Amino acid sequence: MKTYNLLMAGLLLVASSCSNEENTSLSDKKSDGESHAAMMEASENGAFQKNPGSELGIPDGKYLLTKETHLITWEASKITGSTHSGIILAESGKFMVEEGVISRGVVSIKMNSFEVTDITGEDKANFEGHLTSEDFLSIETFPTARLMMNGSSTDDAGTMTLDCAFDFHGVVVNYNVPFTAKEKKLAEGGMGYQINGAFTIDRTKHNMTYGSGSVFDDLGDRVINDGIKIGFEFTAI
């Protein structure tokens, strides 16, 4: 009888142990499942996307320009204060984000898409013909320009700057370009990232000297300023 009681007690102890292990296992699985669901939800909501301490706000990875229109804007002026402006289209581009900064990238610009947008009609056509000729852009000789990104940084005030090399009119010149980056809803659906920047080039450094007061004397009020304002808006995924 004593042996029987000991045997029953042992069986009850084993059954209790198995029940506790099964409950613990189910609890752990439920906890793991809840954690995974929470992480998925956080990822979908944008958490875990930004690099800690990074002002850029774009996850590390490789990005390509979307099929949306990517604009390069330009504005040139004369010494008299009159200005002209227009657009050029970007053809393709890509960039890499590493450790919270844009480490490298390139955007190709189609110079034959050059357009004057502040005048119309015959004046517009004639002026575009003049600007795309050998006097200025020489688009037959230089059909493509390239904006090359060699890194980015953020100062204490939170201003982000791209270290760029601009291959324009056959000459590469380095420029520091202030820029912003933000998440953007795409026309075709989904989310991407929009990068905007602006800088001023010295056209004489790119061997564009027509009408330059720093190169030619006695031009009077026909002087065209050396600085050309350039802006850009790119969307990438």
pLDDT 10s digits, 211-228: 999 999 999 999 999 999
Q: How many whole angstroms separate alpha carbon 48 and alpha carbon 42?
A: 7
- Do 100 and 132 fall within a single domain? yes
Beta bridge partners of 144: 110
User: Could you tell me if residue 112 is inside a domain?
Assistant: yes
Please give the chain's pLDDT, 237 residues, in tens: 444 444 344 433 334 444 444 443 334 433 444 433 333 343 334 333 444 446 799 999 999 999 888 999 999 999 999 999 999 999 999 999 999 999 999 999 999 999 999 999 999 999 999 999 999 999 999 999 999 999 999 999 999 999 999 999 999 999 999 999 999 999 888 999 999 999 999 999 999 999 999 999 999 999 999 999 999 999 999
Whether residue 40 is found in the same domain as residue 139? no
- In angstroms, rounded to a whole number, what is the distance separating the alpha carbons of residues 51 and 163? 20
8 Å CB contact between 112 and 139: yes
Residue 56 in domain: no
CATH code at 228? Answer: 2.40.128.110
| Structural domain boundaries, residue 190 | 61-236
pLDDT of residue 54: 63
Residue 146 token pair: 């390239």
User: Do 5 and 106 share a structural domain?
Assistant: no
pLDDT of 168: 98
- The model's pTM is 0.76
**Digit-coded pLDDT (tens) for 141-182:** 999 999 999 999 999 999 999 999 999 999 999 999 999 999
Look at the chain and report how many structural domains it folds into: 2
Question: Please, are residues 106 and 112 in contact by the beta-carbon 8 Å criterion?
Answer: no
Is residue 158 domain-shared with residue 228, that is, in the same domain?
yes
Q: What is the pLDDT of residue 67?
A: 82
Contact 229, 74 (CB under 8 A): yes
Please report how many Cα atoms fall inside a 13 Å half-sphere around the Cα of residue 169, on the Cβ side: 18
Question: Is residue 129 domain-shared with residue 219, that is, in the same domain?
Answer: yes
| 109 shares a domain with 86 | yes
Is residue 87 domain-shared with residue 144, that is, in the same domain? yes
Do 128 and 193 share a domain, yes or no?
A: yes
Domain contains 54: no
Tokens of 94: 């890509």
Handedness of CA 48, 51, 55, 61 (dihedral sign): negative
